[in-house]
Structure 1
Amino acid sequence: MIRGNWSLAQEFKQNERKQQLKVQKRQKHQHKLEKLKNIDPIKLFHRIENLRNKSSKTDNDIEYLSKLEEDWSFIEKNDLHSNKVKEILRDQQKKLKLKQKEETTLWGKDSIYFNPELNPLGKVPQVESLGFKLSQPLKNLKINQLKKVKKYEYDPLIEKLGVRLPDGQPPKFYKYVQNTKKPSKRNQKSMQDELKLNTDNSLEIEGNTEEPFYKKQKG
Structure 2
Amino acid sequence: MTDDEKRRIQQVHILLSMYNALQPGVFAVSGWDLVGALPLPIASVEDRMSDGDTRWIQRGAYDLTGSTPEAMFSAEGIPRARCLYGSLPDQLSDPQSFASQLKQILAVRQAYGIASSRQVAIPDVSSPGLLVMVHDLPAGKGTQITALNFGATSVEETITLSAIATGPVVDMIAESVEGDLNEDGHLMINLGGYEGVCLRIVSALPIGIEEVS
- TM-score of the pair, normalised by structure 2: 0.22
> Structure with the greater relative contact order (CA < 8 A, sep ≥ 6): 1 or 2?
2
Q: Which has more strand, going by share of residues?
A: 2
Structure ranking higher in helix proportion: 1
Structure number, greater radius of gyration: 1
